Structure 1
Amino acid sequence: MTKFSRIVDVLDLFSETDTLLTAEEIAEKLQVSRPTAFRYAKELNAAGFLANYSGRYSLGARIITLDYRIRQSDPVLKRAEQILRQISDETGCDSIFCRMYNDEIINVHHQASNNPVGVSFGRGRPLPLFKGSASKVMLALLPSAKLQKLYEKNRHLPDVREIATEWPDFKQHFTAIRKAGFYISMHEIDSGVIGIAVPVYTSGIGIVGAISLVMTEERLQMINPDGVVAVLKQRAAEFGDRLVQLDR
């Protein structure tokens, strides 16, 4: 592992519960020497990625500026915002665009509608990997070898065991989702919230992400789920076409 990778690992140590860390705590969590942890913290502080409060470090302001820049300049996100606005206007439901980074599913944009729904996993917060409509439609498009690797790594988790206790059954679960081209989750992440998701996929790029509608159960009873799925698939295809044009 390179020095750069180890320095980046420092940023991953911070969370909602670990908001301030000393260099000693960084050393313990990363299993590196104290001088090495001090050096990492010093370099990140100088670059603005960490802020130093009398020897205790928090995430720095530069991360906020980078978030602003990605909102303004990321071509995939800009096109996602356009598509999601259209979807929310057409369906009257909140829409979310999620992407997969390593083994995490991240909410990168939430488009509110006239019928807003409160969700616990807002922009930037990883969703459960094996729960929810967006996560499952993206896992369904992974190569079988990668999906099996995720299964073997996490097979002890309750979320995985709830799907299946053996690999063949686990694989069949996601094969069925892949064939259907969509997935509807019922209260899997937030109580009272329904999710309907389709993948955004292009042959040249592969799996890009997932578009998910979130709504209450009462709202679901007022719409035609088959019609909503058809709209989502159409918009996802348009999104994919725009990304192919961008790649060219």
Structure 2
Amino acid sequence: MPSNYYDSDATELVETYDFLMKYIVIGEAGTGKSCLLHHFTHNSFKDHSQHTIGVEFSSRTVRLGEKRIKLQLWDTAGQERFRSVTRSYYRGAAGAILVYDITNRESFINLSRWLADARTLASPNLVVVLVGNKSDREDDREVEWAEASRWAAENDVHFLEASSLTGENVEAPFLMAARAILLAIESGTLDPEKAGSGVSYGDRALRRVNSSSRLSFGSLSGSARRKGGAVKLKVKNWIPGSKCC
């Protein structure tokens, strides 16, 4: 598989895309949500990051196989006083990046509340990826990979660990969610033309996918290696239950 398979150089300057997908980035304050998103959109660590006030917006266009996908990214505040504001942005989201801090157990304990809100308010076909952030701080770990992996399996969400500081696996959750959404479109369980789906056809005006027309977006599957009791995930490859930044 070529190294540029996911077209990491694609930016908002690219005017054409096949699908537009709405994502929300949620989780407790201080988990590194904004840093994770900044590294994904700017390919660099965000120094001196402050708590998000309300909601911040960004976007990035990526490629999965032959398909260009524009991701509409809503970074929500994790502080309780902004909850009533941020929850209004959950509506119509196709994907949710649910973030906790592996060095802060409380941020992990509160995941159920965030997941419940997202599933109540977002698209009925919401795809959720759980991200254990700050994997570079192994010595300060308070949440073991195995425990988080079990929680993800019990709650039917994808899971990986990542580091917004080093950039390891930062792209993986966003691409993982996009692939799952494309699979749902291909299978017919998600209709981009339906209001509230969180997905819409892009500038190329794709027609409704049917049994004779496949999306052809490739595969995220691939090999992974074990290290320190967790699976290290390559950015362009994904295996369920793997670890990222």
TM-score by length of 1: 0.29
Task: Indicate the structure whose relative CO is greater, using CA pairs within 8 Å and at least 6 residues apart.
Answer: 2
TM-score by length of 2: 0.29
Which has the larger share of helix? 1
